[in-house]
Structure 1
Amino acid sequence: MAASSLPSGMHVFERGWLSANNILFADGDQTVLVDSGYCTHCAQTLSLVEAVLGNRPLDTLVNTHLHSDHCGGNAALQARYPALQTLIPPGHAPQVAQWDAAALSYLPTGQRCPRFGFDQTLQPGAKIRFGAAEWQVHAAAGHDPHSVIFFEPETRMLISADALWENGFGVVFPELEGSDAFAEVAKTLDLIERLNPETVIPGHGRVFIYTPEILAKARQRLDSFIANPVKHARHAVKVLLVFKLLEVQRQLIDEFTQWTVTTPYFEQIRVRFFREVPMAVWVGQLYAELVAAGVATKEGEYILPGFAR
């Protein structure tokens, strides 16, 4: 969908895979940004926002959920705009207030997220004004148990975060930890079907026109994971590896392997799903699969991304 088809004053910044998309509302009395990207891209996030707002302040920052690729730029935006009001989903509000980086998933996954504060929480069932319109706040558990999505009924536009992409949805992390989160994904897909959006702004990838076929594809993907949880687990660890590889860009294989071995989430997943494979052997298998798929490449003693996203 072309950016020119978006409502006046609404700007969608499609980011690379390391950073979630940002949605900026610059019309009306209050300017609003949905999601802030990853911390290593914060300079670009600030530049994108400033290019639209000029000397106007950013009034409100809203996070769909608190994975590092969606809120990693919060601290930089709060520093740039001292009067900024930040709204987050309620589920992890105590952990943000205390800054429990383990409970917020940043330490276990080996990802970075500078500490930020918040002013209010987003309550599912409420409405929030983005630009000239009121958007509904809906709970969207699954990929993250506390995620929310936003729906504007007049234009039937959906900000879906990682609950629905054009070709699926985000990794279902709670399922890897023993929670029955696949069922929550199904409920969220049912919700989206009831909302029946026309346009979807996903957390990653281009804006797209919603069709029943897109939802059917997401459900097929979910069914394949339900039938084979090990397939989902292997997909998840590869996503985490590629995410880190995109962050560091180039690293000695031994150093990258050491990072993997000492990052708690990998051992947790290995013990749950791949217990029979020693850690070093398992990591080697994952690297080989990434290289074979073309998403990573080796140059001598170094590993680096095999593609740009």
Structure 2
Amino acid sequence: MGVDVKLPPGVQVLERGWLSSNNILFVGQDSTALIDSGYCTHSAQTLQLVESGLQRRTLDLLLNTHLHSDHCGGNAALQARYPQLQTLIPPGESTQVAVWNEAALSYQATGQNCPRFGFDATLQPGTEVQLGDQSWQVHAAPGHDTHSVVLFEPISRLLVSADALWQRGFGVVFPELDGDDAFDCVGQTLDLIEALQPALVIPGHGAPFTDVTEALARARQRLDGFVADPARHLQHAAKVLLKFKLLEWQSVSLSALQAWAEATPYVSRLVASQYPTHTLAQAVDALVHDLVRAGAATLQGQQLHNA
């Protein structure tokens, strides 16, 4: 897991990196559950990890903190593997999932993939859900995603924070990419987390951590920087979307990357706004060189590689 933390009995964290979100597995006396399922290209690994953690038991319940592709891309594979599996999703986009409207969901806009899945009920904020042997509170956590939730177990004071809080920040504030004001929502969610007083946080990406006060301070400092300079957040978002796709591809030609950027609404809009005097090819080239300078990618001729 990357850090020496003590999790409650029956709770396992399957730390996946940045293409697939962490998976949190609960094995209780009478039932089992999983929070988030990773990205679709990792589905085979997701099945193996979950099966190993279950130790010959079946998976009863699947929850998604939100419906970004790196958190629910393995849903379809898990539903096929465990036919009796019950799936719960946040309520905000349940209608779009029911009809599978990829334009209304985030998959077309981000240029990402997510196989179609179904759901059985919604995770209503203000209610509780049984995960393993404990009852967990469901809290609305808008900001990174308007409809996201976090889950909190008050006895152990364990928080599943999804992308609302990482040890060093939080996820891209996607509503801002659509022109909606959402930085205030990020701040309100950070205030909620502080009020819950978690002793241990399992983030959507990265290792579990206990330095919650420091993490909140870092997140607020980052948020203040974005509020002061919204263009900084937009440029950050463009690089994150390119890096995510590179994590999926591992290697891609610059021409193919430019074609993907042109066909991907979020990316094409972001590069146009951030590089108004550039052609799309020039703007993508500038972002690529930013990734290379940051050590997040390497460039060999006209081929970009993940680093």
If the TM-score is normalised by the length of the shorter chain, which range does it land in? Answer: over 0.9
Identity of aligned residues (%): 59
Query: Given residue 172 of structure 2, which amino acid in structure 1 is its aligned partner?
Result: V
Aligned-residue offset at 1:2 = 4.8
In structure 2, do the counterparts of structure 1 residues 95 and 165 end up closer, same or farther at CA, with 3 Å as the change threshold? same
**Residue number in structure 2 paired with 1:19:** 20
After TM superposition, what 4+ stretches of structure 1 lie above 6 angstroms from structure 2? none
CA contact (8 A) 2:21 2:71 kept: yes
Moved more, 49-58 or 59-68: 49-58
Q: Which residues in structure 2 correspond to 1:135-150 (within 5 Å)?
A: 135-150=136-151
Tell me the distance in 1 between the aligned counterparts of 2:146 and 2:103.
Answer: 16
Tell me the distance in 2 between the aligned counterparts of 1:188 and 1:94.
Answer: 24
The gaps in structure 2 that reach 5 residues or longer are: none
Q: Which residues in structure 2 correspond to 1:294-305 (within 5 Å)?
A: 294-305=295-306
**Residue number in structure 1 paired with 2:74:** 73
CA contact (8 A) 1:87 1:119 kept: yes
Tell me the distance in 2 between the aligned counterparts of 1:300 and 1:2.
Answer: 39
Q: Which residues in structure 2 correspond to 1:83-102 (within 5 Å)?
A: 83-102=84-103
**Residue number in structure 2 paired with 1:127:** 128
Tell me the distance in 2 between the aligned counterparts of 1:292 and 1:273.
Answer: 18
**Residue number in structure 2 paired with 1:213:** 214
- Residues 164-193 of structure 1: per-residue CA shift (max 9 Å, x gap): 000010000101211111010000001011
Tell me the distance in 1 between the aligned counterparts of 2:150 and 2:53.
Answer: 24
Q: Which residues in structure 2 correspond to 1:34-183 (within 5 Å)?
A: 34-183=35-184
Moved more, 279-288 or 137-146: 279-288
Aligned-residue offset at 1:4 = 6.4
CA contact (8 A) 1:197 1:210 kept: no
Please give the secondary structure, in 2, of the residue aligned with 1:128: strand
Tell me the distance in 1 between the aligned counterparts of 2:286 and 2:59.
Answer: 46
What is the root-mean-square deviation of aligned Cα atoms in Å? Answer: 1.3
**Residue number in structure 2 paired with 1:189:** 190
Moved more, 261-270 or 177-186: 261-270
Tell me the distance in 2 between the aligned counterparts of 1:129 and 1:236.
Answer: 35
In structure 2, do the counterparts of structure 1 residues 89 and 3 end up closer, same or farther at CA, with 3 Å as the change threshold? farther
* TM-score scaled by length of structure 1: 0.96
CA contact (8 A) 2:66 2:149 kept: yes
Moved more, 39-48 or 297-306: 297-306
Tell me the distance in 1 between the aligned counterparts of 2:81 and 2:117.
Answer: 13
Aligned-residue offset at 1:276 = 3.7
How many pairs align? 306
**Residue number in structure 1 paired with 2:32:** 31
- Residues 255-304 of structure 1: per-residue CA shift (max 9 Å, x gap): 12211122111122234444343322211110111111110111233111
CA contact (8 A) 2:173 2:183 kept: yes
Please give the secondary structure, in 2, of the residue aligned with 1:298: strand
Tell me the distance in 2 between the aligned counterparts of 1:166 and 1:22.
Answer: 17
- Residues 28-75 of structure 1: per-residue CA shift (max 9 Å, x gap): 211000000000000110000111213211000000000000000000
Aligned-residue offset at 1:152 = 0.6
Tell me the distance in 2 between the aligned counterparts of 1:211 and 1:267.
Answer: 36
Q: Does 1:238 align with 2:239?
A: yes
